[in-house]
């Protein structure tokens, strides 16, 4: 069977499968894209019979129509970093091929033409997990280039590190006066259950139908396709590997709810940020080393010492912000050495405490753990930052301010990364 053919397969186990044949690198394996959108590899030895239902169709080159500018509509620029939002499946290879020019975007999502003038281009095509500080700087510069020629920007991004990038752009783009909305897709665009289209359409409607003018995230509000939430750039976390509503507001609430029909409902008292000063880029030092130490039982001093040549450290403490630093018997003798290493390290680099708990805030005043850590120079008491926001904020502060200033600046709320109070009645999931 040629790649691209639609076939029916009967297996020796009695399974009846229908799907499109894809190119296989192994002659002993039949690769199928099932109607559900999932790919499957079948050992040819286990196949009883195959039947061709539809032959491979030769693809016709689609003529790209010129996009007409409508002066009555706002202009939105879509910048791409890869991911699945602007992709389509190639059934011969099984690969998802990207399409980034405006004509392709309009052809994939024809509704967009009714709402706005669309500009679209690729910045880089990469997995979000491969991003480094230098990529944040590139994104900030490209966004700055586009802002004078559009009413808002949508950035397509892989979901794995989307919350890091949203925080990085929020800190980098000082005096931002137009919306920069990050979107992603939890399900591949070649699957019927893909969330790419709804996330994109809701982001467009958010820009044209609201006064929001900061960096934000627009993703599914629930697992169905009814609406998306606008989430804070610095108070959001991915809480599920595959659910379409994986992104949740942490120690905060969604800013707005955007329905499929374009209605934008503000859920918080939103105050539009008006900046008199011109947009300024405050970028990242690409050579900075920021470590993350996760508290766990049976910790050793060597685990702290690893970061002696780093520029900063985030500690994911247990509970209210704790680490094993109490010696209570001979078995816990190592804890004394851990505290000593923390004390020595804090004289060289800033150490910020956050909590491994998803919700709530650090309070190192309650138990002896916390008081000892504060005396040792650990910062972050009474803060409620996510790991993503804390990591990015520390890197940004070290990139733009003197190290001596960090102690005071870490507690300053620059981009909504800190909550003035924690609402204990918030829905957790």
Q: The domain containing residue 395 runs over which residues?
A: 290-409
Mean pLDDT of 323-350: 97
How many domains are there within the chain?
3
Q: What CATH number did the domain enclosing 275 receive?
A: 3.40.50.1170
DSSP state of 232: E
Residue 46 or residue 33, greater confidence: 46
* Shared-domain flag, residues 47 and 24: yes
Same domain assignment for residues 105 and 237: yes
* Per-chain mean pLDDT for the chain: 89
159 is catalytic: yes
- Active-site option among 90, 101, 104, 160: 160
281, 314, 341 - which closes a domain: 281
* Separation of alpha carbons 47 and 38, rounded Å: 19
* Nearest-10 crossing angle of helices 368-375, 333-346: 40
- Rounded CA-CA distance 378/142 in Å is 36
In DSSP terms, which residues pair with 345 in a beta bridge? none
Burial of 259 per CB tally in 10 Å (0-12, 13-18, 19+): middle
Q: What pLDDT score was predicted for residue 86?
A: 56
The confidence band for 428, taking pLDDT boundaries of 50, 70 and 90, is very low
CB distance 182 to 155 below 8 Å: yes
- E-strand stretches of 127-214: 152-156, 173-174, 180-183
**DSSP for 321-360?**
TB-S----SGGGHHHHHHHHHHHHHHTTS-EEEEESSSSS
pTM: predicted TM-score of the whole model, two decimal places:
0.85
pLDDT of residue 88: 57
First to last CA, the chain: 46
Buried b / exposed e across 169-196, counting CB within 10 Å, b at 16+? Answer: bbbbbbebbbbbbbbbbbbbbbbeebbb
206-252 confidence digits (pLDDT tens): 999 999 999 999 999 998 888 999 999 999 999 999 899 999 999 99
Q: Which range, of 135-144, 185-194, 213-222, averages the lowest pLDDT?
A: 185-194
Model pLDDT, residue 56: 58
159 lies in the same domain as 274: yes
pLDDT score of 340 more than 50: yes
Same domain, 237 and 117: yes
Strand 247-249 to 236-238 pairing: antiparallel
**Same domain as 346, residue 270:** no
Domain boundary among 251, 281, 311: 281
Its sign, for the CA torsion 387, 390, 394, 395, is: positive
Assigned domain for 183 exists: yes
pLDDT at 427 > cutoff 90? no
Residue 380, domain member (yes or no)? yes
Catalytic pick from 119, 178, 237, 238?
Answer: 238
Which residue in the list 159, 165, 236, 355 is annotated as catalytic?
Answer: 159
pLDDT for 94 beyond 70: no
Assess whether 238 carries a catalytic annotation: yes
Q: Report the pLDDT value the prediction gives residue 408, as an integer from 0 to 100.
A: 95
pLDDT for 281 equals 98
Rg (CA), the chain: 25
Q: What is the mean pLDDT of residues 288-297?
A: 98
Residues 301 and 235 in one domain: no
Mean pLDDT on 19-30: 82
Domain membership of residue 112 (yes or no) is yes
Residue 14 falls in which region: left (phi positive, over 0), alpha (psi -120 to 50) or beta = left
Count the alpha carbons within 13 Å of 135 in the hemisphere toward its beta carbon. Answer: 19
Q: Would you state the structure tokens that stand for residue 414, as one six-digit string? A: 């620059």
Q: 154 and 176: one domain? A: yes
Is residue 223 located within the same domain as residue 319?
no
Q: Are residues 171 and 134 in the same domain?
A: yes
66 lies in a domain? no
Q: Are residues 154 and 245 in the same domain?
A: yes
Among the options 77, 84, 156, 236, which is catalytic? Answer: 84
Measured CA to CA, the distance from residue 208 to residue 210 in angstroms comes to 6
Known active-site residue 84: yes
- Does residue 429 lie within any of the structural domains? no
């Amino acid at each position: 069977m040629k790649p691209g053919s639609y076939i029916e397969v009967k297996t020796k186990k009695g399974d009846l499968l229908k799907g499109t044949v894809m190119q296989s690198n192994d002659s002993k394996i039949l690769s199928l894209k099932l109607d559900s959108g999932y790919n499957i590899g079948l050992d040819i030895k286990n196949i009883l019979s195959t039947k061709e239902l539809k032959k491979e169709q030769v693809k016709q080159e689609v003529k790209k129509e010129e996009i007409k500018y409508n002066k009555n509509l706002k202009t939105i620029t879509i910048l791409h970093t890869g991911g699945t939002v602007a992709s389509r499946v190639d059934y011969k290879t099984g690969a998802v091929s990207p399409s980034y020019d405006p004509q392709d975007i309009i052809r994939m999502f024809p509704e967009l033409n009714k709402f706005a003038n669309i500009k679209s281009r690729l910045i880089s095509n990469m997995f979000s997990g491969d991003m480094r500080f230098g990529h944040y700087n590139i994104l900030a510069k490209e966004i700055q280039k586009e802002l004078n020629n559009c009413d808002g920007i949508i950035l397509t991004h892989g979901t794995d590190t989307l919350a890091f990038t949203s925080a990085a752009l929020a800190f980098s783009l000082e005096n931002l006066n137009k919306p920069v909305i990050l979107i992603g897709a939890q399900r591949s665009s070649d699957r019927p259950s893909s969330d790419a289209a709804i996330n994109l359409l809701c982001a467009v409607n958010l820009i044209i139908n609201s006064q929001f003018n900061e960096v934000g995230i627009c993703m599914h509000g629930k697992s169905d396709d009814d609406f998306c939430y606008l989430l804070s750039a610095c108070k959001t976390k991915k809480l599920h590997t595959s659910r379409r509503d994986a992104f949740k507001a942490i120690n905060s609430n969604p800013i707005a709810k955007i329905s499929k029909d374009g209605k934008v409902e503000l859920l918080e008292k939103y105050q539009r940020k008006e900046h008199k000063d011109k947009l300024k880029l405050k970028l990242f030092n690409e050579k900075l080393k920021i470590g993350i130490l996760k508290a766990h039982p049976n910790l050793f001093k060597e685990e702290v010492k690893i970061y002696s040549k780093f520029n900063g450290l985030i500690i994911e403490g247990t509970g209210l912000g704790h680490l094993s630093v109490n010696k209570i018997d001979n078995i816990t003798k190592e804890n004394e050495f851990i505290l000593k290493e923390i004390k020595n390290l804090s004289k060289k680099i800033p150490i910020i405490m956050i909590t491994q708990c998803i919700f709530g805030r650090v309070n190192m005043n309650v138990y002896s753990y916390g008081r000892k850590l504060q005396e040792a120079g650990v910062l972050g008491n009474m803060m409620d930052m996510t790991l993503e926001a804390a990591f990015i904020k520390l890197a940004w502060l070290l990139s733009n301010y003197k190290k001596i200033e960090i102690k005071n600046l870490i507690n300053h709320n620059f981009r909504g990364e800190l909550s003035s109070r924690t609402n204990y009645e918030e829905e957790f999931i």
